[in-house]
């Protein structure tokens, strides 16, 4: 499914979130940059927007983008390499900042092909909801994080009460499947999105999976009226 929507994914992201996705990513990468990581994994990296948001704020020595969709990852690689070529070399190298080494790995979150203790930070933008086995992916993340390492997760959530919650449900039922379907050409994907968001919000599987993996929940912060949840875990 993600292979099908990859060509229009970025445009739709900005359009459907009314541009707020950039603000959510900035809030997430602030938490990632706070520990001055050397090695960062952008898991379920898709077209690379979390990585780009991080690089605009902080440059680790190594950044790895991992995703199960070759199409999404290919677009991410192209975008990040283009950004590094154009922006990084001119501005940062002149100031003596070294460029990061980058890696693009096709894999699933449930079986990460990395050695124990490889990363200081794992960040996941809007990917957890799609994982086939969230507890297993959290165990894998706990394994590949260094002691003291950090997990930063952005995921959709549901405002629970009031007029805004009603409006948001209408947006999910009507606007999102229609606009998403028309622009991406995949009505299936944009019918799946609201139903996966509702199911994920109802089950709330992330926090128990984080604690069962041996990590601790350090912060949980609702963003934009509770439509998105920022979760920070620590090992």
Ligand X SMILES: C[S@@+](CC[C@H](N)C(=O)[O-])C[C@H]1O[C@@H](n2cnc3c(N)ncnc32)[C@H](O)[C@@H]1O
Residue 72 CB, nearest distance to ligand X (Å)?
A: 4
Q: What letter would DSSP give residue 185?
A: S
For the chain, the C-alpha Rg in angstroms (whole number) is 17
Whether residue 133 contacts residue 30, with contact meaning beta carbons closer than 8 Å, is answered with no
The reply on whether position 125 binds ligand X by CB under 6 A is yes
Residue among 120 and 140 whose Cβ is closer to ligand X:
140
Min dist CB 163 to ligand X, Å, is 28
Dihedral sign of CA atoms 136, 141, 144, 149 in order: negative
| Residue count, binding to ligand X (CB under 6 A) | 20
Cβ atoms within 10 A of the Cβ of 91, count?
10
CA atoms within 13 A on the CB side of 159: 17
- Interface with ligand X includes 45 (CB under 6 A)? yes
Binding of ligand X at residue 180 (CB under 6 A)? no
Q: Does 155 sit near ligand X (CB under 6 A)?
A: no
Minimum Å distance from CB 219 to ligand X? 19
Shortest Å, Cβ 190 to ligand X: 12
176 binds ligand X (CB under 6 A): no
Which residue matches tokens 């930070």?
Answer: 121
Retrieve residue 178's tokens: 């229609």
Binding segment (CB under 6 A) for ligand X, from list 43-51, 81-89, 167-175, 180-188: 43-51
Which among 220, 166, 169 has a CA at the least distance from the CA of 195? 169
Return the range that interacts with ligand X (CB under 6 A); candidates 126-134, 145-153, 178-186, 219-227.
126-134
Residue 112 contacts ligand X per CB under 6 A: no
Q: Are 162 and 33 in contact (CB under 8 A)?
A: no
Judged by CB under 6 A, the stretch of 123-131, 162-170, 203-211, 215-223 that binds ligand X is 123-131
Q: Which of 109, 141, 197, 228 binds ligand X (CB under 6 A)?
A: 109
By CB under 6 A, tell whether 49 contacts ligand X: yes
Pairwise CA distance, residues 162 & 164, whole Å: 6
Distance from C-alpha of 155 to C-alpha of 178, rounded to nearest angstrom: 22
By CB under 6 A, name the binding residues for ligand X. 2, 13, 44-46, 49-50, 67-69, 72, 108-110, 125-127, 130-132
């Amino acid at each position: 499914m993600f292979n099908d929507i990859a060509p229009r994914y970025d445009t739709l992201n900005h359009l459907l979130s009314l541009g707020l996705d950039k603000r959510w990513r900035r809030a997430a990468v602030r938490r990632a940059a706070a520990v001055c990581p050397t090695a960062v994994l952008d898991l379920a990296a898709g077209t690379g927007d979390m990585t780009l948001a991080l690089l605009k704020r902080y440059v680790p020595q190594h950044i790895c983008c991992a995703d199960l969709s070759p199409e999404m990852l290919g677009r991410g690689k192209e975008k990040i390499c283009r950004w590094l070529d154009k922006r990084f070399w001119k501005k940062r190298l002149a100031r003596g900042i070294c460029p990061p080494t980058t890696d693009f790995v096709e894999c699933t979150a449930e079986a990460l092909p990395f050695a124990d203790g490889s990363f200081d930070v794992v960040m996941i933008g809007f990917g957890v909801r799609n994982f086939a086995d969230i507890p297993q992916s959290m165990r894998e993340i706990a394994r590949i994080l260094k002691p003291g390492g950090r997990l930063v997760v952005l995921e959709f959530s549901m405002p629970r009460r009031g007029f805004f919650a009603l409006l948001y449900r209408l947006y999910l039922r009507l606007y999102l499947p229609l606009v998403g379907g028309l622009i991406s050409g995949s009505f299936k994907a944009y019918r799946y999105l609201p139903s996966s968001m509702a199911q994920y919000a109802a089950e709330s599987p992330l926090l128990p999976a984080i604690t069962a993996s041996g990590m601790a929940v350090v912060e949980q912060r609702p963003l934009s009226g509770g439509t998105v949840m920022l979760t920070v875990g620590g090992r």
